[in-house]
Structure 1
Amino acid sequence: MKSNRVFRTIDLFAGPGGLAEGFSTSTGPAEFKIDLSVEMDAGAFSTLRLRSFYRNLDPSGRQDYIDFANGEIPLKEIVQRHGVAWEQAEAETAMLELGKPDDDRKLDVRLDKLLEDDADNFVVIGGPPCQAYSLAGRSRNAGNADYTPEKDRRHFLFREYIRILDKVRPRAFVMENVKGILSSSVSGGRIFELIHRDLANAAGPDSYRLFSLSPEPDKSGYLLRAEEHGVPQARHRVIILGLRQDVAASLDASEIRLPKATREVSVEEAIGDLPELRSGLSRGEDNFPCWKKAVGEAFLAAADAAPEGSGLRERLWQHHKAIQQRMETGRSSTSYGTTPPSEFVKTLRDDRLIRPPNHETRGHMTSDLARYAFCATFAELEGRPPSSRDFPEVLAPNHQSWNSGKFADRFKVQVWNRPSSTVTSHISKDGHYFIHPDPTQCRSLTVREAARLQSFPDDYVFLGNRTSQYVQVGNAVPPVLARQIALVLGQLLAGGIKQARAA
């Protein structure tokens, strides 16, 4: 179907570009062209610019990009070959810190340029950084005696988003944030109530109508559960859709819903085709014989710690024997292997890719390997991750509060047959909360596996060091969810245009 209209899209606080990926690849009665993406973090910005470059490549350039993703040619070479596409990517992206006066002025120059043609076809997407709103962030802040919420500028970065709405006056906007924003407060006032009010009045009194996309708005409010929409992850986020009053006037709010998927997508469907890897050893010599010895000892230690006569002890012994018979396994992959992709993964894999990018393990301390072995084997048998009360005392970490309940999920394995837990930026610090469900790999998730759970396509290459890559993936909006939001918004905007013309 030919598009009724192309909407020029401005992506704020863009991260590595999950929202932009979903919007730019949405198909329907309207299209969304990413005119400008703004991000302050250098690693995320490099990934964001690379994806913009990819979107601007012609077919021959796309093949060169695939060769880069396969590790056959360096990025510098394809940039030199396709200079025009790179210039377009640089024009479409900006590494700026919103709220910083000098950067705000630079952004305003870019926006004024976009607004020169006076076209009324803009959409704004994005979400302010969420550290101050997240439950984990608030817990950390509560432990800081010097922390003053009123002085934390991250609480008020949403005002930068609103400033851009006032300047651009888009037909629509989509704002995303963590669910903790619903309960966060400053000076006794609810942050969400303040944001809701300011968004509705962003370009003047009552200038925007705000809508929930939830399939059950009376029950969930503005909360969307990604696992209900085909994302293999239990990720719950606040999504606010704003429509300018003149656009919303002819719409029935009851029609603005994001349909549920017919079923949930499991971890196995998302990452089960990726080739087996071994964990790295963070201290001492790191090679396959050393890994085989260390992991073999870890499984023996876990088996000795398991209750006598239990199926868990027997299964740990079985895995120990399997590891001793294993042929050499690397920490990264040079091919996809032979396991066929699921229907979900078929939508993410490009047949020209010979290997999954960003699929490399990190190193683990040998003291954690027995815990990983225990956790993954326990989940294999019980269908759930173990909590602290399930841990044998000899395997428990040396935390004073281990038995208090605060660390109940300190070591959490993902389970094959259901969506994963929420992939967060904390995956960059350690992998204890993101243990791979295959016990014999005895490791945490790779960047690519985390990206799969976030529904990024395999040709979406993450740049920066590995810590940065984990942070980027954890902070992103799942593209599959973003694409569905874009489809609903496109249908609304296209329908609004038709009604206006008919009138």
Structure 2
Amino acid sequence: MENNKPKKINTLELFVGCGGLLDGFEQSGMYETIASVEWAKQACTTLINRLSKKYKYENAQSKVLHFDIQRTHELINGWKDDEKFGTNKGLNWVIGDREIDLIIGGPPCQAYSMAGRIQDKDGMRYDYRNYLFESYLKMVKIYKPKMIVFENVEGMLSASPDGVNIVDKIKQGFNDHGFDIIDDIRGNALIDLSEYGIPQKRKRVILVGLSRDHFSDENRNQSLLLEFYNNTLAKYKSSTIATVYDAIHDLPSFYPIKEEDSTKKLKFSHTPTASSFSGHTPRFHNKRDIEIFRTLAEDIKSGNSRYLSAVSLKQLYTEMTGKNSNVHKYFVLRWDQPSNTIPAHLKKDGLRHIHPDPDQARSITVREAARLQTFDDDFEFLGSMVQNYEMIGNAVPPKFAKLLATAVNELLQYTKLV
């Protein structure tokens, strides 16, 4: 009997992290993960676990290459007895004679983010991550996919570490490698993910590139890309705005432990209630921060609105800590609105992601951050709490990634390339 199941699209994922983008593509059921590359060990461990348990890849371990993509020759051909990365036969061995239809991924974004540039004394001018897109391009040149999907932060549009705009470098790089991307990136490829049912204010640049080996007419390519952004992808926008309440209201609550409850130094600042949700445990907060969190959340709940301005928040910070800050440190999530952006910075503190319930007086947990990023509850993050916050903050929300995967598949089907 003839098998009428459609052929899956072969993907290679670069800078895959823990696999938010990959997870959405896998959820669509239209793609086959051939190989993934990531340098962070805990992210690789998390991804291997996900591919094996959720998507039933028997060879998940071999599909995830723990290595530095900048060492391109070794990545392609294999490396041996490396102190950090061990031994591996390389991408060519994993891929074999299979054709790569699509390369997806986005280089680490810290060097492009506005927050990163503000916090770094040199404005991230000398950060090596500014040029990791060049490693992405090398892989495109080697494996010659039909299409690419390249994701990054909005700050990429204004980053110019050596005086030349990064976007211009990326455009030129893709052009030199025979790919067309949309001319007006800000006008078309800057996507507000909250419009796609993500309970979070998160804007990302999503570049879809068409290979001129398969799409030879450059003018037609611009028309195809305009159609993709303005119609194919845009039709998946949600009719409603998802909120913090939608995402996390049903998760178990945790309340501050009173000091008189224990004569010893407390290991937890909040009730260590057992939870069936992995990663749903509050980080430790000192008494001062608990008081601040309660004050700010109660201010919003009561409608007093004393601490809504940056000036009042900075003044509160000075009063409570004795320190001064040029930027306000605190933000309480609103039940009836999307969250602010979930960043990798959550690994350092949760001051700008305070739970809306004043009785709980805490920052959000790993699982709450994952919910706001639309990770399924069965997605296990296999690092420390710090590492898990970082993996989640760096990820593409899987729910959006699934919609993107579906739209990309429609483009591939329309052009009859798969």
TM bucket, shorter chain = 0.7 to 0.9
Q: 1:407 aligns with which of 323, 327, 346?
A: 327
Q: 1:287 to 1:198 in 2, by over 3 A?
A: closer
CA contact (8 A) 1:280 1:363 kept: no
The 5 Å alignment of 1:171-186 reads 171-186=146-161
- Could you say which residue in structure 2 is the equivalent of 1:350? none
Q: Give CA-to-partner distance per residue, 1:115-152, whole Å, 9 cap, x none.
A: 54253x521110111111111111122x25xx882x43
Could you tell me how far 1:383 is from its partner in structure 2? 9.5
**What is residue 389 of structure 1 aligned with on the other side?**
311
Contact 1:26 1:483 in 2 (8 A): yes
What amino acid does structure 2 have at the position aligned with 1:17? Answer: G
The alpha carbon displacement at 1:186 in A equals 2.5
Q: Which residue of 2 aligns with 1:299?
A: none
CA RMSD of aligned residues (A): 2.9
Q: Aligned ranges for residues 10-29 of structure 1 at < 5 Å?
A: 10-27=12-29
Instruction: Please report how far the alpha carbon of residue 388 of structure 1 lies from its aligned counterpart in structure 2 after TM superposition.
Output: 4.2
The structure 1 residue matched to 2:298, chosen from 370, 377, 389, is 377
**Within 5 A, what are the aligned runs for 1:285-296?**
285-286=265-266
Matches within 5 A, 1:95-244: 95-100=66-71, 102-103=74-75, 105-106=77-78, 110-117=90-97, 119=99, 121-141=100-120, 143-144=121-122, 149=125, 151-202=126-177, 207-211=178-182, 220-244=187-211
The answer to whether 1:482 aligns with 2:401 is yes
Using the TM superposition, give the Cα deviation of residue 442 of structure 1 relative to its aligned residue in structure 2, in angstroms: 0.8
Deviation, structure 1 residue 155: 1.0
Aligned length: 392
The amino acid of 1:263's aligned partner reads T
Percent identity, aligned pairs only?
Answer: 31
Please name the residue that 2:371 is paired with.
Answer: 452
1:454 aligned partner, one-letter code: Q
SS at match of 1:256: helix
Q: Distance in 1 between matches of 2:55 and 2:333?
A: 37
Q: Give the deviation of 1:24 after TM superposition.
A: 0.7
Correspondence for 1:325: none
Kindly provide the amino acid, as one letter, of the partner of residue 272 in structure 2: R
Q: In structure 2, what is the equivalent of residue 471 of structure 1?
A: 390
Q: Distance in 2 between matches of 1:359 and 1:460?
A: 12
Q: 2: CA distance between counterparts of 1:394 and 1:189? A: 38
TM-score, structure 2 as length reference: 0.86
Aligned with residue 264 of structure 1, among 228, 234, 241: 241
Q: Tell me, in whole angstroms, the C-alpha distance in 2 between the residues paired with 1:127 and 1:32.
A: 18
Give me the TM-score of the superposition, normalised by structure 1: 0.72
- In the alignment, the residues of structure 2 paired with residue 8 and residue 33 of structure 1 have an alpha-carbon distance, to the nearest angstrom, of 5
Q: Is the 8 A contact 1:332 1:361 kept in 2?
A: no
Q: 1:366 aligns with which of 269, 287, 291?
A: 287
1:424 corresponds to 2:399: no
Instruction: Give the letter aligned to residue 49 of structure 1.
Output: I
The aligned residue for residue 255 of structure 1 is 227
Cα distance between partner residues in 2 of 1:118 and 1:389: 58
Consecutive unaligned residues in structure 1, runs of 5 or more: 58-83, 292-328, 335-354
Alignment partner, residue 72 of structure 1: none
In structure 2, relative to structure 1, the CA distance for the partners of 1:287 and 1:181 (3 Å cut) is closer
Question: Which amino acid in structure 1 is aligned with residue 189 of structure 2?
Answer: Y
Match of 1:8 among 7, 10, 34: 10
Largest Rg, 1 or 2: 1
Going from structure 1 to structure 2, the CA distance change for 1:443 and 1:492 (only over 3 Å counts) comes to same
Query: Contact 2:317/2:324 (CA < 8 Å) preserved in 1?
Result: no
Q: Deviations over 1:223-247 (max 9, x none)?
A: 1111011100001111100111254
* Cα pair distance change 1:110/1:393, threshold 3 Å: closer
Give deviations 1:336-395, integer Å, cap 9, x for gaps. xxxxxxxxxxxxxxxxxxx21111111001111111001111122349773343357597
- CA deviations 1:312-346 (Å, max 9, x no partner) are xxxxxxxxxxxxxxxxx833433xxxxxxxxxxxx
